[in-house]
Amino acid sequence: MTYLSGVALKLITPLFCIFVIATLGYLLGGIKVKGISLGTAGVLIVALLFGILANKVPSFSFAGNEITLFGDSIKSTYSFVSSLGTALFVTAVGLIAGPKFFRNFNRKSIGYIFMGVIVILSGALITLLIVLIGKVDKNMAVGLMTGALTSTPGLSAAKEVAGDLGESAVTAGYGIAYLFGVLGVVFFVQLMPRFEKVDMEKEKEKIIAAGEVNIKKINGKLVKIDTFDIFPFVMTVALGMILGSFKIPGINFSLGTSGGTLIMGLIVGHFGHIGKISLSVNKNTLNFMRELGLCLFLIGAGVPGGVNFVTHFKAIYFLWGALITLIPMFIGYFVSKYVFKFGILNNLASITGGMTSTPALGTLISVAGTDEISGSYAATYPVALVFVVLAAKIIIMIV
């Protein structure tokens, strides 16, 4: 028994739990019901369930030894995992979109910017109504908004303004709304093409044809630093984090890890080299980093989310959060379709950007069968990021 106890103590560590959550999450995500699946979002479900278990049974005894599932040190571990996952995923998206993003930028691209504004402002207005009419505490309401829009930078900004007294309510609201915030968009991007009876192959061909641009070739042979193009990738992450750390005086706004790495990914992807040194990254490497980053992000965000979900859950809060997710999506979808005349794949990609939904973009890429849609996400996401951070701060300060 002493031997088994020692094995259990060595096994039940954050590292072991991360791989178990990922294993079970991918198994769950692989199950299809009438062609609809959770995909990588299955990892989120398992992570949330683990967080709920950790809340109910934070520690247990095994053969006379105390085993902790979720302590203070483990909280920081999952926070690190979430940040690492965000950096990997968003950098990969930026590098994928970068070579064509600026070259494809035209009047139509302005629509993507407006999409980011429309989606976030819709969510912010619903949040204000919840505070004023629903009589929900403003800190809880803003937490619900950032969770419903799956915005970690928005959460950080809200916590900063709320201070010590309001921080717990903001965090709790985020945890309650986050689950539906992720799954709502994941299912939305899978179901809408079915409701619209879209020929996905034709839409895919249109996207690929529209994405064809002439990229100027560099004269002379470029030097690759390593075989798998890890160097340009990690360099982009590092530069992106530096960019994301700068704060605008007065409003105390920064792009954060997600915004900084996305923009730097677009820039590096656009230029593709420094002198004779190649900064292009192999497509297989980008796809791997994107998927690994998404998995880590969902684990890092899901486990703490599960802990907060149980502690502060109320059915009415969950309902408010669901409305903040659903209404902006439908508004954005119909504005995109009838005002900006976007095709359905670019429409849905701009929705994932407007909702700042990392998991939904991964799902949409799988549904579409092409990552050409990453440009629409990349065009919408930074605007949505800025506005959700500002909205979170403004609502707490003025209401």
Residue 216 located in a structural domain:
no
At residue 373, the 3 state secondary structure works out as coil
Residue 218 located in a structural domain:
no
Residue 52 located in a structural domain:
yes
DSSP letter (8 states) at residue 223: B
* Per-residue pLDDT at 198: 83
What is the domain-level CATH number for residue 363? 1.20.1530
Residue 296 to residues 25, 58, 284, 302, 370: CA-CA distances in angstroms?
Answer: 11, 22, 18, 10, 22
Q: Could you tell me the two tokens for 154?
A: 């928005």
Q: Of 61, 67, 40, 102, whose CA–CA distance to 297 is shortest? A: 40
Helix runs in 274-398, H state only = 283-312, 315-338, 344-354, 358-368, 374-398
Q: Of 333, 388, 324, whose CA–CA distance to 356 is shortest? A: 388
Q: Which residues contact 326 (CB under 8 A, 6 or more apart)?
A: 184
* Per-residue pLDDT at 1: 46
* Per-residue pLDDT at 315: 87
Q: Are strands 32-33 and 36-37 parallel, antiparallel or unpaired?
A: antiparallel
Residue 21 located in a structural domain:
yes
394: containing domain? 2-210+237-398
Domain total of the chain: 1
Q: Could you tell me the two tokens for 316?
A: 């009415």
Residues β-bridged to residue 247: 254
Q: Which residues contact 46 (CB under 8 A, 6 or more apart)?
A: 21, 24, 25, 28, 302
Entry pTM:
0.74
pLDDT in tens, the chain (399 residues): 455 455 555 566 788 889 999 999 999 988 888 777 778 778 888 988 888 887 776 666 655 566 666 666 677 788 888 888 888 988 888 888 778 777 766 666 788 889 989 999 999 999 999 999 888 888 889 989 988 998 776 776 677 677 666 777 887 888 788 888 888 888 898 889 888 888 888 888 887 776 655 555 555 578 888 888 899 999 999 999 998 888 776 656 677 777 788 889 889 988 888 888 888 888 899 989 988 988 998 888 778 777 777 777 788 999 999 999 999 999 999 999 999 888 899 899 999 989 988 778 888 888 888 888 888 888 888 788 778 878 888 888 787
Residue 313 to residue 306: CA distance in whole angstroms: 10
Q: Could you tell me the two tokens for 372?
A: 């050409």
Q: Which pairs from 159-163 meet CB under 8 Å and 24+ separation?
A: 160/252, 160/393, 161/392, 161/393, 161/396, 161/397, 162/396
* Per-residue pLDDT at 73: 67
